[in-house]
Amino acid sequence: MAKRKRGILRKIWTLLWCVLLLLILVLLVFRFAPIPTTAFMLQSDYPVKQTWISIDKLPSHMPLAVVASEDQRFPDHFGVDFAAISKALSQYDEGDGLRGASTITQQTAKNLFLWSGRSFIRKGLEAGLAVGLETLWGKKRILEVYLNVAEFGKGIYGVEAASQQYFGRSASKLTMNQAARLAVLLPSPRTRSPNNLTYYLRQRVDWVEVQMQQLGPDYLKSIIE
């Protein structure tokens, strides 16, 4: 019986190692190549619109807007913001529910490989994948992928598709205000539009623009260049 259990455990470990090696291979391949689809796109209830655009073709204020809105410590952490997680867990213990506290790297990992919803299991997988992305890809590639796979509306993925949909222009020609208006969609992209902002979202856009100015145009220079 003990021998049989050891055999089963050996098979499980072999399977896990094979999955890990396959994941590493996939990440290495897509370190440079455009990513054709994601777990979130495959789960979408709407027709998917996405056009890949290189981060080098985007105005610098587009990635800056997303970082200012979503993850201002993006240049400094290694995929997981432990201070934000600690705060979220504290709020959870106080009965506020499990909040996001996800970095841009974690959101990228979630969009690529996982599912929506909030649970400790998914959060654990998300954090592990985020560290892997930081190790194998680096900041620039993570930010580039995020800008191309994040959802900005019902079935609208990536800043290029979003810019074409909402503003009728390529993301390469986005103004600072338009970039900020896209950035505020990210928490709830299916219920928000940059062309029909509520009073709260208009305030949020103003806040993002102030944050962008305070961070400065060179905030992401060491990452992007």
Query: Over its length of 225 residues, how does the chain's per-residue pLDDT go in tens digits?
Result: 666 666 666 767 777 677 667 777 777 778 888 888 999 999 999 999 999 999 999 999 999 999 999 999 999 998 888 766 666 565 554 454 444 568 999 999 999 998 877 777 778 888 889 999 999 999 999 999 999 999 999 999 999 999 999 999 999 999 999 999 999 999 889 999 999 999 999 999 999 999 999 999 999 999 987
Query: Can you give the CATH number for the domain in which 103 is found?
Result: 1.10.3810.10
* 82 domain residue, yes or no: yes
**Chain length of the chain:** 225
* 41 domain residue, yes or no: no
How many distinct structural domains can be found in the chain? 1
Indicate the residue type of 114. Answer: L
Please state the pTM of the whole predicted model.
0.87
* 13 domain residue, yes or no: no
CA distance 79 to 104: 8
* 159 domain residue, yes or no: yes
Range of the domain at 119: 48-224
The token pair at 74 is 């993006």
* 88 domain residue, yes or no: yes
* 2 domain residue, yes or no: no
Share of the chain above pLDDT 70, in %: 85
- DSSP per-residue letters across the chain: -HHHHHHHHHHHHHHHHHHHHHHHHHHHHTTTSPP---HHHHT-SS--EE----GGGS-THHHHHHHHHH-TTTTTSSS--HHHHHHHHHHHHTTS-------HHHHHHHHHH--SS--HHHHHHHHHHHHHHHHHT-HHHHHHHHHHHSEEETTEESHHHHHHHHHSS-GGG--HHHHHHHHTTTTSTTS--TTS--HHHHHHHHHHHHHHHHH-TTTTHHHH-
130 closest CA partner among 115, 112, 147: 112
CA distance 219 to 221: 6
CA distance 38 to 140: 19
Q: What is the pLDDT of residue 192?
A: 94
| Per-residue pLDDT tens over the stretch 7-19 | 666 767 777 677 6
* 23 domain residue, yes or no: no
CA distance 45 to 41: 9
Phi, psi at residue 207, to the nearest 5°? -65, -45
* 18 domain residue, yes or no: no
